[in-house]
Amino acid sequence: MATDDDLAAEWEAMGDDEEEDVGSARVLNQDEIDSLLGFDEAGGGESDTSGIHAIVNSALVSYERLPMLEVVFDRLVRMMSTSLRNFTSDNVEVSLDNITSIRFGDYLNSIPLPAMLSVFKAEEWDNYGLLVVDSALIYSIVDVLLGGRRGTAAMRIEGRPYTTIERNLVERMVNVVLSDLSAAFDPLSPVTFRFDRLETNPRFATIARPANAAVLARLRIDMEDRGGRLELMLPYATLEPVRELLLQMFMGEKFGRDSIWETHLANELWNTDVELDAVLDEVVMPLNDVLNLKPGSRILLNAMPNSTIDMRCGNVSLFNGKMGRKGGSIAVRISNRLRKM
């Protein structure tokens, strides 16, 4: 028999073993913790696809799942090149830098100030979008429209708010871009983008929740030695009414439809056997009378030899007719069609 002292010694030994196991557990250094959380600076741009960042952004829909959106933006670039040349009477080159998916709150925090944020509304979709014009493009547009000399960079004066003239000129340019954007979406779905307001503070241009996903298209506008950036941001909530159209691989694609199979199915339906029931009459009886029925009991019907017969397929009445006899069989002559085929 083990004494109390022996049991105490055994428990103490087990506790020492557990402490040794805990002490031998591997401790992560700071680099490994940063890599696990997705904050590895050495990894460069790949940090967004690892660790906690990958988990958080896993629900962020990639614009690559909307193939027709690239076609729309390509049309927008071509149309803007022509319309801005007419607007500025200068040689304008428009290029699409990239299209990315981003959360709305992250984008607002990344906008370099000063800038002008144009809020516009998609009338048919009943939602909003954002058009951001950076300061370089603002001063370039003002310089070009007001007769600035060619070959000299636009002057950039920081530390002052934008003047009424600058705001009006930028608003005119935004209306030109929105008109082109509407035309770019026309082959896909007719929509009218209407200018709503112009803001210089990102907090006043909040059109979606910070965690909501959005598509961001960055455009570069060059006017010889002048130019700047134009950023177009459309929340996924705005694009939701046309999401099915944006999922197309090509214009006019029919999802899940096979005309050959549809024709075959339509032809085979005409050869389907359908069971018809000729209902002479119906009687409503109390449950007590039904339970008392037995062999030899009689059920009186209100039908006469010339009564109308109801022809049914399942529970659907299709025809009315009269009962008769043809040869050695009972027949029904159809007199009325109750339901259009």
Q: What is the CATH number of the domain that holds 135?
A: 3.40.1550.10
Looking at residue 299, the DSSP 8-state letter turns out to be: -
Is residue 218 one of the residues assigned to a domain?
yes
β strands within 183-340, DSSP E: 193-199, 213-223, 226-235, 277-279, 308-313, 316-326, 329-337
Regarding whether 108 and 187 lie in a shared domain, the answer is yes
Residue 171, domain extent: 63-246
Cα separation, 53 vs 60, in Å, equals 11
**pLDDT of amino acid 119:** 92
Q: Does an H or E element contain 173, and which?
A: helix 164-185
Q: CA dist 173 to 87, 97, 309, Å? A: 8, 20, 75
140 in a structural domain:
yes
CA 64/CA 101 separation, integer angstroms: 9
Residue 279 and residue 207 share a domain = no
- Per-residue confidence (pLDDT) for residue 44, from 0 to 100: 45
Question: Which 8-state DSSP code applies to residue 105?
Answer: H
Q: Are 117 and 197 contained in the same domain? A: yes
Say whether both 174 and 283 belong to one domain.
no
Strand intervals (E) in the chain: 93-103, 115-122, 127-134, 193-199, 213-223, 226-235, 277-279, 308-313, 316-326, 329-337
* Structure token digits, residue 176: 């030109």
Taking the alpha carbons of 225, 231, 232, 236 in that order, is the dihedral positive or negative?
Answer: positive
pLDDT tens digits in sequence order for the chain, 341 residues long: 556 666 666 656 665 555 555 455 667 777 777 666 665 554 444 445 555 655 555 555 555 577 888 888 999 999 999 999 998 888 888 998 888 888 888 888 888 878 889 999 999 898 999 999 988 888 888 888 887 666 555 555 566 788 888 889 999 999 999 999 999 998 888 899 999 989 888 888 888 888 888 899 999 999 877 888 999 999 988 888 888 888 877 665 555 556 777 788 888 888 888 888 888 888 888 999 889 888 988 888 888 878 888 888 888 888 888 888 888 888 888 888 877 65
pLDDT of residue 194: 92
Angle subtended at Cα 11 by Cα 10 and Cα 16, rounded to the nearest 5 degrees = 100
Domain boundary among 195, 227, 246: 246
Spatial distance between the Cα atoms of 21 and 15, rounded to a whole number of angstroms: 10
Query: What angle (nearest 5°) sits at the alpha carbon of residue 184, between those of residues 123 and 169?
Result: 75
pLDDT of residue 2: 54
Count: domains in the chain: 2
The answer to whether residue 9 is domain-embedded is: no
How many other CB atoms are there within 10 angstroms of residue 207's CB atom? 21
| Cα 287 to Cα 59: distance, rounded to the nearest angstrom | 59
Residue 77 burial (10 A CB sphere; 0-12, 13-18, 19+): middle
Claim to verify: residue 192 and residue 110 sit in the same structural domain: yes
Residue 256 in domain? no
Residues 314 and 201 in one domain: no
* Predicted local confidence at residue 70, as pLDDT: 87
Whether residue 313 is found in the same domain as residue 196: no
210 plus 294 within the same structural domain: no
Same domain for 167 and 283, yes or no, is: no
Nearest-CA neighbor of 127 among 214, 246, 64, 218? 214
Q: Do 292 and 209 fall within a single domain?
A: no
Query: Residue 296 sits in a domain of what CATH number?
Result: 2.30.330.10
- Residue 97 sits in the same domain as residue 180: yes
Taking the model in full, what pTM does it have?
Answer: 0.58
pLDDT at 219: 92
Does the residue 24 lie in any domain? Answer: no
The answer to whether position 76 is within a domain reads: yes
Residue 88 lies in a domain: yes
Confidence at residue 118, expressed as pLDDT on a 0 to 100 scale: 92
* Residue 198 domain-assigned (yes or no): yes
- Using the 3D structure, point to which of 207, 229, 246 is the last residue of a domain: 246
Q: Are residues 306 and 242 in the same domain?
A: no
